[in-house]
Each structure stands twice: as C-alpha cells, then as structure tokens.
Amino acid sequence: MTRTTTEPRTRRPSGSGIVPVLAFAGIVVAVMQTLLVPVIKDLPELLGTSPSNATWVMTSTLLAGAVATPIMGRLGDLFGKRRMLIASLAVMVVGSLIAGFTSELLVMIVGRALQGFAMGAIPLGIGLMRDELPREKLGSAMALMSSSIGVGGGLALPVAALVAQHADWHALFFGSAGLGVLSILLTLVFVPESPMRAEGTFDVWGALGLSAGLVLFLLPITKGSDWGWTSGTTLGLFGAAAVVLLLWGLMELRVKAPLVDLRTTARRAVLFTNLASIMVGVAFYAVSLVLPQLLQLPTSTGYGLGQSMVVAGLCVAPLGLTMMFTAPVYARISAKYGPKVTLMIGMLVIAVGYGAGLGLMSAAWQTIVIAVVLGAGIGLAYSSLPALIIGAVPASETGAANGLNTLMRSIGTSVSSAVIGMVLANTADQVGGVAVPTMTGFRVSFLIATGAVLLGLVFAAFLPGRRAAVNAEKPHLVASSEDAEYGEVSAEPAPAGQTARAGFRGRVLTADGVPVARAKVTLIDRRGRQAGATLSGEDGGYALAVPAGGAYVLAAKALGHGPLASSATHPGDDRAVELDLSLPGVSVPMGAS
C-alpha cells in the first residue's frame, strides 16, 4: 500500500510551457506508431521475408507498448514522472536508430519493440499535468494530451506516405529519432519534475506477471488470423493468458505495494471508465483501417475512390486535427456537466459518424466529412477518460491508473484490428489471386464500430454522476483505500487563532477544477488523531498548520461531494507544502470504502 509524498514547493508553475511540450511528446509517440502504415504492404519485399513474418514488425511495437505502459506509469509514481517520460523517449530514439540502420527482420523487430516503450509517455504526461498545473487549466490540458495521439497519427499518415514515395523508407525511422531527441530536449527545458511520490517499492513480480499475461493475450489477438482462430496455438495462448492473469491478480491482492491496485481498479468509477475505454479504442481504430483502403482502391472495383497514398492520408488527416480542436470544447462542456456527460456525448457523436458513414463512401469529400465527425466524437471521448480516472484515484496512483487506462484503449485497438481484419478478409473478392476488400466488408466494419461504441455508452451510463443526492444521515468521513489505516476522521473545528505558517495549503476543487467553498478540511496525524481542521474560503483556499514534520492525511468533504482523503508528508521546516484537494462528485454512504 502506497502513500503520496509531496516535496515542498514555494510556488506552482503557470504551465505555459508544460502543456505544449507534453502534447508534442504525445504527437511524437503517435508518429512513431503510424510511420510504417504507408509501407505495410511492402514490408515483406523490403525485409526479404514472408507476409506473416513481416507482421511482427508491427506486432512487436504493440506488445512492447502494452507491457511498458502500466510499468512506466508505476515507475513514474515512484521515481518521478518526468524522469520516466525522458527514459521512455530515449528508448524510442535508440529503437528508431536501430531500425533505421537495418533491413534484417530480427533486428528490425528489436528496434520496433524498443520504439514501443514510448507508449508510456501519454499517461506520464497526463500525470505530470495533474501534479504541475493549476486546476482551472487541467481539463483542457488533459484533453489536448489525450487527443495528441490522433493529431500525430493524422499528420503522420500523409507525411510518411510522401517520404515513402520519394525517399528511402529508412528515413521514416531517422525522422522518428529526431523528433524523439527534440521532445527530450524540450522536456528537460520546460517541464519540471513532479514533487509527488508514491512511497513503497516497485513490484517486480507483478510487472513480470502482467507482462507475461499481456503478451499471452495480445499475441493470439494480433496473429490469430494467420494461425487460425480455432488452432491449438491460438486457443492455447488464450487459455494460458487467462491462467497467468488470474494468478497475477491473486498475487497483486496480497502485495503491500502492487503494480496495479486492483481494489482501486474495481471501483465503479474506474472499472466502467476502463471498459468504456476499450470500446472507444475499437471505434477509433475501425475508421483508420477502413477509410485508407477505400480511398486507395482503384475505381475499376466500382466503389474504390482511386486516390494516391498521399491524398488518402490527407483525407484521413482531419480525424486527428478535429480531435485537437475539440479540447477547448471538452473543457467547457466538462466544466458545466462533468466528464461523464462529455464522454457520453462523444460516444453519441461517434455513433452518428459511423451511421452516416454507411451511406457516405462514394466520394473523397464524403470521407473527409466522416473523418471530421468521428474526430469530434473521439476527441470528446478520449479527453474525458483521464479526467474520470484522475477524479477517482489517489494522487499516488495517477501514473499507474492512467497507464492502465491507456492499456485498455490499446487492447481496444488490438481487438478492432483483429476483428475488422477478419471481416475484411472473409468478405474480400479474389481478383487475379489478390484479395480485394468489398463495400460489404467496409459497411460491416462500420456496423461493428457502431455496436462497440453503443456498448461503451451503456458502460458510461453506470459511471457515478457529477452530483448525487446527499445522504439523509451525516456520513462518516473515512480515509480512502490507501489511507484507511488512519481510521475515522473527526469533525472537530480547528483551535482558534491557528495559522499555517508551516503546514499545508492549497485549494479544494471539484474534479473539473471548480473551487469548492466552505468545504471542511481535517488534518490527521499518523496515529489517527486530529491535528487541525478548517473550512475552505470562497475561492476554495485552505491553510492548515502542522505541529511537527511527518506523514499526515488531509481529509476533505463538502455538501454534494464524496469525501476525499489524501496523504502527504511535511518536511518539518517553516515552509508550506502546496496540495490541492480534488473532491469526487458523488457522496459516499456510511461504511463505503
């Protein structure tokens, strides 16, 4: 079990350079993921291998990213999120250089696997934003960070296609390495290290168990179409994955400082957010698979649009650009109605986009319309997910929780790739010995994506609302799961005349950054005794003095909000430690954990 250690800080940075630099890191990661898309069909010839072996170039990145994302998130919680962000980007640069200097299959697979380690950059960036930015800027900043994956992918497709057509394809890797180095330098200059630390040790066995389980699960998903979905290899790997992940889960429940806190993950707000994330991932990847193929098929098929690789990339690019432009829209909607409503609106827009897409596939301009509508919906949905996670987990688990949420989205895209790929293959026509996707396959793929996002809408409906009826009885305020050992929090007022020259100060806010006035903030020492209490001001501000240095729990509650307990450490000097307290939007009944 871990607690948050907050290093003293005299001021909170404005964040003017943090947001664009971290968003750029997300774009770099997205570029790395999609840079080979224009040359996928040529990889067997370029690497001198069979098509089934060439797919390992893409599969290795997916597997490495899935393994690295939750692990890097946890390491960031323990040792510093900026430090781990830089490490992730550095490994990506090394992998890019390895891939750029080889045409050997095995070496290329190693390079692409190292590139996959950069996938942890996005949850680490979101965690840094939570720790460093003022709450009023956090919503739009997280939205921009979440949408950066679409922005980078949208921009990378036409640029990578242009490079692949007019230069050696290895130039794609050198470009990725250059962007990675630039991102590292910008991070070093503009992004401060987070003062938040989770106390505890790194769960090595948990990391190994999760890695093994994920590889065993994702491997048959990505290779099932080659091996056969009912083959002994595929079914055996799925069975082994189930056993390994079950044993891993049982082990994590017994570990004091687990890699993933499954008790926190099982909370309604976290569980249904992650389930919805899988469905959004399915929906996001379906359009990325269908539209480029439709645009590049020859007009002689009767439905292909006959566009070049570059033009096809330009037609799909609005998907990512629209995701970026929805960030301020998300911030306004979420500030008024909460991230749950924003997520549901986004999913409805996605469903409308896919529904309209069933009849809008006969011209290139129609694919642009589809991309814009879907980009708006996916942007709103992706922006909502980290806000929901951050509002439901302690500060000490931000990196790991967002890493797990990013992993859920990756699983969604993997499932989408497998299912849509199977549909397109089974509905394809054979023309001169070549399988050509059909319009029926494209439309079935859109229907599958629509069904997935509607299922995600059902999951989102089970998320706690922003407001809940306040219990008729006055609830007991109990520390959250990470702080339960401190016992029940007293509601006695603070002694008169107490100041906060040396102590904690900050603001009490909603999950969306709105100040909460007259919230009760109570300070509890390690023995569970009240060390002070106060009410927040009209601007949400509070200040509490500490009798001595050491570990404390700050418990906050307010009418219409659930209680919050956040642990922090004071060094015992004359400075005040800044700590904002973000209240969940749902009141917790007596005895809830």
On the question of pLDDT at 198 being above 80, the answer is no
Q: Outline where DSSP puts E strands in 428-519.
A: 429-431, 434-436, 503-510
**Residue 95 banded pLDDT, cuts 50, 70, 90:** very high
Strand partners, 581: 508
Q: DSSP letter string over 365-401?
A: HHHHHHHHHHHHHHHHHHHHHHHHHHTTS-GGGHHHH
- 329 neighbors 336 (Cβ within 8 angstroms): no
On the question of pLDDT at 282 being above 60, the answer is yes
**Residue 485 banded pLDDT, cuts 50, 70, 90:** very low
The CATH number of 18-203+255-461, from 3.50.50.60, 1.10.760.10, 3.40.50.920, 1.20.1250.20, is 1.20.1250.20
How is domain 481-583 classified at the CATH fold level? Immunoglobulin-like (2.60.40)
Sign of CA dihedral 310, 312, 314, 316: negative
The mean predicted confidence, pLDDT, of the chain is 82
476-484: average pLDDT: 34
pLDDT digits (tens, 9 = 90+) for 138-173: 777 887 887 787 777 777 878 888 888 888 899 999
pLDDT at position 466 is: 60
pLDDT at position 589 is: 39
On the question of pLDDT at 413 being above 90, the answer is no
On the question of pLDDT at 295 being above 60, the answer is yes
**Could you give the 3-state DSSP secondary structure of residue 265?**
helix
257-282: average pLDDT: 88
Please report, for the chain, the start and end positions of each structural domain, with discontinuous segments joined by +: 18-203+255-461, 481-583
Give me 249's structure tokens. 């889960």
On the question of pLDDT at 7 being above 60, the answer is no
583-589: average pLDDT: 56
- 552 neighbors 525 (Cβ within 8 angstroms): yes
pLDDT at position 395 is: 64
pLDDT at position 274 is: 93
122-148: average pLDDT: 81
311 Ramachandran zone, left/alpha/beta (phi>0; psi -120 to 50)? alpha
CA angle 353, 355, 360 (to 5 degrees): 80
455 φ/ψ angles, rounded to the nearest 5 degrees: -65, -40
Identify the weakest region by mean pLDDT among 353-357, 396-400, 428-432, 453-457: 396-400
Answer yes or no: pTM beyond 0.85: no
Identity of the amino acid at 284: F
pLDDT at position 327 is: 76
**Residue 1 banded pLDDT, cuts 50, 70, 90:** very low
